[in-house]
Structure 1
């Protein structure tokens, strides 16, 4: 039997972190077992589903490179199939029309809750005589749930679960307008698509016994289920918008590599010894759904930042650059207007936890700036820095070759002539040419910035110092 998993989001919003982890686990299980991964868009909620949300989900899946083997399938394009199966169940006496009004159902629930009973449909229309059935009247279709026995299934995450059928009522499978409901469409889709394993959030666990009973009524094979615990925020509460970035594409915007996000998500509820960093190939080789944690996992932004930096440092430049390019474009950085970026990335990777930080760090090597970092300028661009900057500019402007060795010698000679430490020349020079107080060694920094741009920026710093001195 071919293993077949699916990811079936509802397009009522973006692809969030919890959904992305579910998709990843389903994708990995299929890949690890040479199976197939299906993408299904569950868009039967016509009021809340939007084309923009569909696009956001597809964008997130593509960015994470979670490629699907079949789909995307859209439930709204399968309504004829659902109607046919509903008619089949009604004909077989496994489903029935219910004419109870909303007012009656609301009153019934209120009374049940007042009596501390579990709210559930009382089955009034379950066995109506044919003469009492008038399909011209408003009605829903309910599934005739078994009233005896229990549903038992082995959850690969939670273990064996048993729910008595007496705890379940006759759920609605078609609304008054004829549109099918979630618990029904899911079963028909999983049956038709041959889904063998369903990995999803544990907020669906109460739906599973209902769905299993519908599978049984249709004489279909029942998939294996695994319900994954929720993800908690840094504060231990359920992850939500107030915790910051929960949309997958927001992580792209904030400067995370998709490889790092996948690595982080796989570890949010699964482990392999003490290993922290996994390539996608290693994830596929080592992933086992039976090792998913039973307890909820807490999101840790610091851990994600650390992991992202490991990838920035360790991935080949040609793998980092396509993702960095998005941030460079956003900042208006033109790589043709400066040094070879492949030389800069390894140098700045030690200082940048995100691609946003990396893009901002390399910016001075491609773009001019109008102002200096306030703290660095206050400390290093003072009156005492004027003479060192003038002297080093003279030496730099007369260099025959703009090479690191010659640049280094010019800075050294300036410090020796002025009888000051290297820092008295180097730090004002660094702030002058980069606009900030941190950079790689000055010799390669100046080489990358170039002679013309370096000299112009020293002039800019000298003007800044002159104005500062004049203001007292």
Structure 2
């Protein structure tokens, strides 16, 4: 079983989507189920409706899953297992105040050393722990031996005992900390492989320590994906518009193209343009680069254009507000000069909108408009052009410049004869 575990605390980041896509692909390759686990235990940061938005995005990208679960539903198990660790003396109650711990952190910072909890409460007498009415957290005892993680992408990573202190697993309000809830949930769901971002690398030995303390012997594999960088070579953040999946979709990038690009970067695919189903045939975690991947919006535009070209005419027409094969074919003409459905929609909208005519073209445009409105239907552009030219008495630039504007809303663009082929049935609506 694999899992994708997003938090409902904001818009889905492209890094999270990449994790979801990779989990989906590998679950299909291994013929294992994929669980969507909404990690909602941090109630103060949760945003209402974000869980549904996450699921809608996954559905839009064709990511199939066997189950949706909410981490908050497992709190009773988290509590029970924390109590088990306390009974077995593998965890202890910590009465250190927040102020005291902050003071210790400041001291470590000033001395330029890594902060580690000093186990001040690790050996308190039993009677003091039982009779103490002060608020407390629960900490798991630090490891005595090194913890080794064999990562599918990063290789072997070794964590010495001093790298991990006796960290908190239950807050004062008796809600679980992230690492504890995550480790327990992975056990309960029988997870076999965890694919996630490399910002979780430091969490992995803690989660292994928790499972081992609970007597869980099954080995869980790991693969930590390198981060995605922006144009400045820094980690993409919420300040980067392109980091939001929602923004990319609103800008007119197809789900299939976004998925293609996120699989492509930092990878060694057999070809540049593909869909997720094709990727299932050849994808391998071992081919993912250990180095961060740089997000290139121009490359994404190129990939998106190629995916737009693969759409049939009727499907393409829906992206520009129609359900008409002819409009779809018209849209295909513009694919050479645009990269997104948003740009494409603006081009088609110009054709059917009220035209803005330059003063220098207004007189000629008025003459042409009258000629076009009185013209019979012509199947061929040359017949239409010859009739309008004769009726208007216009020639050369005085004819072709305003005609293009009247028919397309722009002075520049594809061959007007090719455009006419697909708009001839709409001439009355176009030239108002």
Aligned length: 428
1:345 aligns with 2:331: yes
Distance, in Å, in 2 between the alignment partners of 1:136 and 1:316 is 70
Contact 2:405 2:411 in 1 (8 A): yes
Distance, in Å, in 1 between the alignment partners of 2:255 and 2:190 is 30
Task: Determine which of 423, 437, 440 is the counterpart of 2:411.
Answer: 437
Contact 1:414 1:425 in 2 (8 A): no
TM-superposed CA distance for 1:253, in Å, is 0.7
Residues 110-135 of structure 1, C-alpha deviation per residue, up to 9 Å, x if partnerless?
33333333211111211222111135
Residues 277-313 of structure 1, C-alpha deviation per residue, up to 9 Å, x if partnerless?
1122211111101111100011111111111111111
Distance, in Å, in 2 between the alignment partners of 1:439 and 1:12 is 44
TM-superposed CA distance for 1:396, in Å, is 7.1
1:371 aligns with 2:356: yes
Task: Determine which of 404, 407, 411 is the counterpart of 2:384.
Answer: 407
Distance, in Å, in 1 between the alignment partners of 2:187 and 2:315 is 40
TM-superposed CA distance for 1:181, in Å, is 0.4
Contact 1:261 1:304 in 2 (8 A): yes
Distance, in Å, in 1 between the alignment partners of 2:266 and 2:431 is 54
Distance, in Å, in 2 between the alignment partners of 1:5 and 1:399 is 64
1:276 aligns with 2:272: yes
Task: Determine which of 175, 183, 188 is the counterpart of 1:187.
Answer: 183
Match of 1:381 in 2: 361
**Greater mean deviation of Cα atoms: 442-451 or 355-364:** 442-451
Match of 2:105 in 1: 109
Match of 1:87 in 2: 83
Q: 1:342 to 1:107 in 2, by over 3 A?
A: closer
Bigger radius of gyration among the two: 1
TM-superposed CA distance for 1:403, in Å, is 4.4
User: Which structure 2 residue ranges, 5 or more long, are not aligned?
Assistant: none
Q: 1:320 to 1:78 in 2, by over 3 A?
A: farther
Match of 2:38 in 1: 41
Contact 1:12 1:48 in 2 (8 A): yes
Task: Determine which of 452, 459, 463 is the counterpart of 2:428.
Answer: 452
TM-superposed CA distance for 1:65, in Å, is 2.0
Match of 2:204 in 1: 208
Q: 1:292 to 1:319 in 2, by over 3 A?
A: farther
Q: 1:209 to 1:430 in 2, by over 3 A?
A: same
Secondary structure of 2:78 counterpart: helix
Contact 2:241 2:247 in 1 (8 A): no
Task: Determine which of 188, 191, 194 is the counterpart of 1:198.
Answer: 194
Contact 2:261 2:303 in 1 (8 A): yes
Residues 362-400 of structure 1, C-alpha deviation per residue, up to 9 Å, x if partnerless?
1244x431534xxxx36x7166x46xx737854773435
Task: Determine which of 138, 142, 155 is the counterpart of 1:141.
Answer: 138
Distance, in Å, in 1 between the alignment partners of 2:127 and 2:267 is 57
Distance, in Å, in 2 between the alignment partners of 1:218 and 1:25 is 29
Secondary structure of 2:328 counterpart: helix
Residues 118-164 of structure 1, C-alpha deviation per residue, up to 9 Å, x if partnerless?
21111121122211113543111111122x22011111111111011
Match of 2:400 in 1: 426
Secondary structure of 2:20 counterpart: helix
Distance, in Å, in 1 between the alignment partners of 2:303 and 2:310 is 11
Secondary structure of 1:199 counterpart: strand
TM-score by length of 2: 0.91
TM-superposed CA distance for 1:436, in Å, is 1.3
1:76 aligns with 2:53: no
Contact 1:313 1:350 in 2 (8 A): no
Match of 2:367 in 1: 390
Distance, in Å, in 2 between the alignment partners of 1:164 and 1:131 is 33
Match of 2:347 in 1: 361
Q: 1:159 to 1:391 in 2, by over 3 A?
A: closer
TM-superposed CA distance for 1:445, in Å, is 3.7
Match of 1:460 in 2: none
Task: Determine which of 228, 244, 248 is the counterpart of 2:245.
Answer: 248
**Greater mean deviation of Cα atoms: 131-140 or 166-175:** 131-140
Distance, in Å, in 1 between the alignment partners of 2:196 and 2:431 is 60
Task: Determine which of 219, 232, 250 is the counterpart of 1:222.
Answer: 219
Task: Determine which of 2, 7, 14 is the counterpart of 1:5.
Answer: 2
Contact 1:393 1:455 in 2 (8 A): no
Contact 2:40 2:71 in 1 (8 A): yes
Match of 1:295 in 2: 291
Match of 2:164 in 1: 168
Q: CA RMSD in A?
A: 2.5
